[in-house]
Amino acid sequence: MEVKNLLVENQQLSDEVQRRIDQLSAVATVAASISQSLDLNQTLQTALSAVLTVTGAQAGGISLIDEEAGEVVLRAQQGWNRDFVNENPMRIPLGKGISGRVIATDTAFWSNRLEETEPLAVMRFHDEKFRSMAMAPMHARGKVIGILSIMSSRSDSFDDSHISVLKNIADTVGVALDNARLYELSIEDQHRLSAVLQSSADGIIATDQSGRIQMVNHTAVVLLETPAAVLTGVPLREAPIIDSVRDALLLAISSRAEEHTRTFRVSTPSGRVLSVLVSPVYVEQQVLAALEADGWVIVLQDVTLSAQMEQARSAFIKAAAHDMRNPLNAAQNAVEMLRRLIQTQDLTLLEVMEIAQTGISRIQGLIDDLVSIELIQSSYEINLSEVDVGELLYEVAGNMRSQFERRSQQLQLELNEIIQPLLLDRKWAVRAVQNYLDNAIKHTPQEGVISLRAYTKDEQLHIEVVDRGEGIPPEAQSHLFERFFRAHQTSGIPGAGLGLAMVKSISEAHGGHVYVHSKPGAGSTFGMTFSFRRARETTANSLT
């Protein structure tokens, strides 16, 4: 008796093992079938065919959740009499019908005795004459994404083994469908991005980390005067493009240590002026950790018209300045001659002549500042040389000592580190520091303290002037470096509003920028930077 019971138990164990093997084999069969494609529609049909094969079901369907519409949508069907996918789309509101129960409870459902009178969310489903049905939720990334269903026109077609297989297969199908859907979305995004890039008014070139061109849009083809077919897949150094453009691009991407965006202008033999922006692209890789940039994105803009307008504006201002200087000089000479000819002690007359002299001098200074800004922005008079920054600041402080003494103000020079020599245009750098100090003198009360300091940070030389004046309202700070802008509270202080604009032009001409930190009643800190990196690139350019 015991031997007989043991044989029975062994047979049951063997049957259970075989059942599990069959289930695993069925899952493997489905997985192998649906792993051949990432096309969503093809994956749906392949998965459904494989499920029907391993379960022996007569018909089946795959429904996916449309979260935006709040519906469960039948996306694939096989073995049905009517088309519920295209001709009569089956869309069931979330939470309704049997599908709503499966999704809400996240459990399988099956019935071997479907009655024609049973209420369903889609009553025309009764026309299919199915008497047995099983449904299992499909999961992907930890949530239910749809339902896998099998049906039969015979009653009592499904048992626990069918449900077990269906549940195991459902998750395999769910992951495959989710991957296919993500792939479909990525392809859609690629097409959308390609359309945007090809319609962009800017020329765009993308390279890999070795500098091989991967993509060129239509505008870049026009600007480079080279067909895309001869550029794609070609290393940048071998690309048949304009020599001046190619050489400048190779120089811009040659330094892997620099992660900053590079911008520069380059002229072509045809007279076109291109503004070029080169940006490194970094993508975090989980399999292969690459230390270098994964590629470069190069943006080309045709700024020929802008460059011509800048040249025309500069020429106009120079011509206008020249034409205005002649009558101003004549007026100044006339006032000086009147001063010598009229021997008078009349205070009113002397004051009138002084006002005329001061007005002429202010207009001459305004003209000189305008011309200076144009010269700086056009880079016509930027002459770089190696400059000792500490020595430069001591020189400026010494030259302006009389202005501080006149207002009984104190200048504190703060140099707490040794700053390496930097390539600067010394004349313009001195002018920028003087303008900042002159601005601080005007806005600091008598007997006040002004600080001048310099330090290095992030490949930049920072020069700052700190005053203890009235401070600047936040709404005015963003306009301080605009030409002719003057805050309302400075209306009684002499000046034309060009001093800070000149500092901005000087700093930007050296690859830097200007900034201000200020609070009303707490003084202001005006800063400017000069780029050590730009100095190295300028040196490299001069050597190539």
Total tally of structural domains belonging to the chain: 4
Residue 212 is classified by DSSP as B
39 and 156 part of one domain: yes
Q: What is the CATH number of the domain that holds 58?
A: 3.30.450.40
> Tens digits of per-residue pLDDT, 289-312?
554 556 788 888 888 887 677 667
Task: Kindly state the percentage of the chain with pLDDT values over 90.
Answer: 13
Q: Tell how far CA 440 is from the center of its chain.
A: 37
470 and 354 part of one domain: no
- Using the predicted structure, report yes or no on whether residue 490 has a pLDDT greater than 60: no
Q: Which pair of tokens denotes residue 534?
A: 């730009």
- Using the predicted structure, report yes or no on whether residue 96 has a pLDDT greater than 50: yes
- Using the predicted structure, report yes or no on whether residue 108 has a pLDDT greater than 80: yes
508 and 534 part of one domain: yes
**Residue 249 burial by CB count (10 A; 0-12/13-18/19+): exposed, middle or buried?**
buried
pLDDT range class, residue 83, cuts 50, 70, 90: very high
> Tens digits of per-residue pLDDT, 184-233?
788 887 788 778 777 788 888 888 877 888 888 888 888 887 888 888 88
Q: What is the CATH number of the domain that holds 285?
A: 3.30.450.20
What is the residue-wise DSSP string for 443-481?
A: HS-TT-EEEEEEEEETTEEEEEEEE-SS---HHHHTTTT
240 and 321 part of one domain: no
Q: Is the dihedral of CA 483, 378, 322, 435 positive or negative?
A: positive
145 and 34 part of one domain: yes
Q: What is the pLDDT of residue 539?
A: 42
308 and 434 part of one domain: no
Which of 253, 286, 302 corresponds to the end of one domain?
Answer: 302
164 and 66 part of one domain: yes
154 and 207 part of one domain: no
Is residue 29 within 8 A of residue 54, CB to CB? The reply is yes
Which comes out higher in pLDDT, residue 11 or 309? 309
391 and 372 part of one domain: no
Mean pLDDT throughout 384-403?
90
Which of 302, 325, 358 corresponds to the end of one domain?
Answer: 302
pTM given for the model: 0.46
Q: Considering the domain boundaries, does residue 191 fall inside one?
A: no
Tell me which residue range forms the domain holding 457: 384-544
Query: In angstroms, what is the C-alpha Rg of the chain?
Result: 39
314 and 449 part of one domain: no
403 and 534 part of one domain: yes
Which comes out higher in pLDDT, residue 104 or 200? 104
Helix (DSSP H) and strand (DSSP E) numbers for the chain = 14, 18
Q: How far apart are the first and last CA of the chain?
A: 99
Which of 325, 354, 381 corresponds to the end of one domain?
Answer: 381
Q: What is the CATH number of the domain that holds 341?
A: 1.10.287
511 and 394 part of one domain: yes
